[in-house]
Amino acid sequence: MRIVLSLLILIYSSAVFSAVTISQSFKVEHQVKLSYTLSKYASLNELLAAPVEWHSSTQVPTGLRPVAKYLWLKIVLHNTKNSLTPVLVSINNNLIDAVTAYHVRPNHPIFSLDMGDALPLIKRPLKYESLVVPLELQPQTQSHLYLQISDEGVITAPLAIWEPNEYLQFKGKFNLIFGILAGFVLALALTNATLYCVTKKGYFLCATLFIATVWLFNAHIYGFGYRYFYSSWQWFQQYGQGMMTLLLSALLLPALSYCSGKPLLAHPQLTKRKAILAILCLFLLVAFLPVSQSLLLALSISFIVSVLIIYTLARVNHKSRNILIAIALCHFIVISYPFTVELGVQSGSFLNHLGYFGIFAVEATLLSYLLIRLYIFQRDEKLAKQQQRLAHTQAEDALLKEKLKLQEQAQYDLESSIEERTFELQVTLRELEDKNQELERMNMEDPLTKVKNRRYFDKRLQMEARRSRREQTVLSLVIFDIDHFKKINDKYGHLAGDQAICEFANLIKSHLRRPHDEVFRYGGEEFILLLPNTPEEGAVGVAERLRVATADLNIKFGEDTLKLTTSAGVYSAVVSDPHNPQLYTDNADKALYQAKQQGRNRVVTFKPNQEN
């Protein structure tokens, strides 16, 4: 009897409803043609036996909230292939309470499958975090898929039909990106936990709890938490989203208060004990309400809190106000999206893409950055106060003439300690600069000669100028220019010119003996040699050896042999104004100009009388 009834329904549906065609080229269909109805009938037999009004659509409409009814979806599948074809029907919302799928095929028993958030993972036929219905379509036949969906809140059930291999490729990429984001967020949580253990600062503990909750929240809503962590804890699977939504807002508020330097949403009548008591009461209320009301209450409170935080931060005069507002806006987005879906304002699931998790990752990153910067500022401020107290103590000790010797010894010890700290700080800064230079190597290296470019030279010159001023050592600068380089380009071509520039650069590098000596391509055929802690005689000696080596250099280009000469300008001095390192390049360039004027192929040092 059921088979006859199924055949009648198939014949009727084929004349009324549009079918999803499964052809040879079929990969995926996101705009699934379906029909839906709200019915009190819980079984397929009762539904098929009763007169039901079906409505055609391409997705489940917005704002459907069945009360004492079931949402039934009907999808007509037409397999045009000549072979048995497997397909997967995915429901891109892991948080639906219950889904029962019925596959009605001609001359076959009805296949049924139970899924949903309210069903323990161990009882699900497919132990998978996503809601997927596997189907086998008979060749050259038309079949029907009925989906009975039950949920206490607004139903959001975006559907897609996949070819199995295409779905596996999609899930592989999806899970890979999710794993990267989850690993990044977990690393942020562990970083803040480590900083808390080292510094004992409360805001790092608050950030650790917030970011850890972000990690668990996204694992929960994307289905991985229920699959891997608490598969037998059904209550948390249903109430976890509301509980963690409320917890995120409760943890973000003190974290942003630390960053802004003032308590947010504070009130004279609201003490810390009362605030904690109110939060605990809200958690208890969320835990004991029905699931749909619990989630709606948690989202409503979090939405109001996020709006108030944005309003308060917009009125705060703080140097990091823009970053604070960006964090609050990120939180507003991740709260308002599911809130509007739960209200039925918009349809579509935010769980079929990872942009939602990405916004959480941006929020966690900005928060960690602000807290680290806050700690650095507090540490520097504390150090400044300690130095002020130390100076005051020294001034008082200076008035005690009878203890002059002890005071001098104490002052000597203090200066030694400060010098050690300064040296350690310089070493640390140099290590950081080395790491930054390694990261920016591709942007600071000349692509032709593989030596550092002018951009890196400007930074290096600034650093060496400060060192020369601090240590009172001579800094030497040599500018080389290949003589008559334009003639080489005109006669042999630009490829020969490029080869000549590379050979000249390699020649300069081969003559460098110390780690801190470095060559830079300044532009065109000009190169700069930076020689820290080198007197003028040493710089002139290096330049002269390079000049002689250049004249002896034979460059093979095809059947031709290129000969080069070079002119060099040298400037050496102890830096007196580290804020004007351009003076070095100007004076060395003047010396180079003199070398060109005097006939090229020579080394000229800058003298003060050359300025005019």
283: Cβ–Cβ under 8 A, 6 or more apart, which residues? 243, 246, 247
Give residue 191's identity as a one-letter amino acid code. T
d(CA 503, CA 510): 11
CA–CA dist 548, 43 (Å, integer): 97
Asked if residue 553 lies in contact with residue 500, where contact means CB atoms within 8 angstroms, the answer is no
- Whole-number Å distance between alpha carbons of 332 and 355: 14
Q: In sequence order, what DSSP letters do the residues of 452-496 get, joined into one string?
A: B-HHHHHHHHHHHHHHHHHHT-EEEEEEEEETTHHHHHHHH-HHH
- Token pair in block for residue 94: 């892991």
Is 72:14 a contact under the CB 8 Å cutoff?
no
Number of neighbours of residue 585 by Cβ within 10 angstroms = 19
Single-letter amino acid, residue 46:
E
Q: Are 95 and 224 in contact (CB under 8 A)?
A: no
Cα–Cα dist 215/176, whole Å:
15
Q: How many CB atoms lie within 10 A of CB 175?
A: 14
Which H or E run includes 567?
strand 566-574
Cα distance between residue 152 and residue 241, in whole Å: 14
Measure the CA–CA gap between 420 and 130, rounded to whole angstroms. Answer: 59
Q: Reduced to 3 DSSP states, what percent helix, strand and coil does the chain have, rounded to the nearest 5?
A: 55, 20, 25
Catalytic residue among 166, 419, 525, 526: 525
Contacts of 234 (CB under 8 A, 6+ apart): 118, 120
Q: Which one-letter DSSP state was computed for residue 445?
A: B
User: Three-state DSSP class for 105?
Assistant: coil
Dihedral of CA 46/48/50/52: which sign?
A: positive
Name the amino acid, one letter, at 358.
Answer: G
Beta strands 603-605 and 566-574 are parallel
Amino acid, res. 178: F
Structure tokens at 43: 């079984």
Residues 117, 225: Cα–Cα separation, whole Å = 12
Distance CA 336, CA 331 (A): 8
Distance of CA 562 to the CA centre of its chain: 51
Please give the torsion angle defined by the CA atoms of residues 10, 14, 17 and 18, in that order, rounded to the nearest 10 degrees: 120
Angle at the Cα of 20 (from 43 to 150), degrees rounded to 5? 30
Residue 93 has which token pair?
């919302």
Let me know if 129 is a catalytic residue.
no
Pseudo-torsion of CA 538, 542, 548, 552, nearest 10°?
150
Residues annotated as catalytic are 525
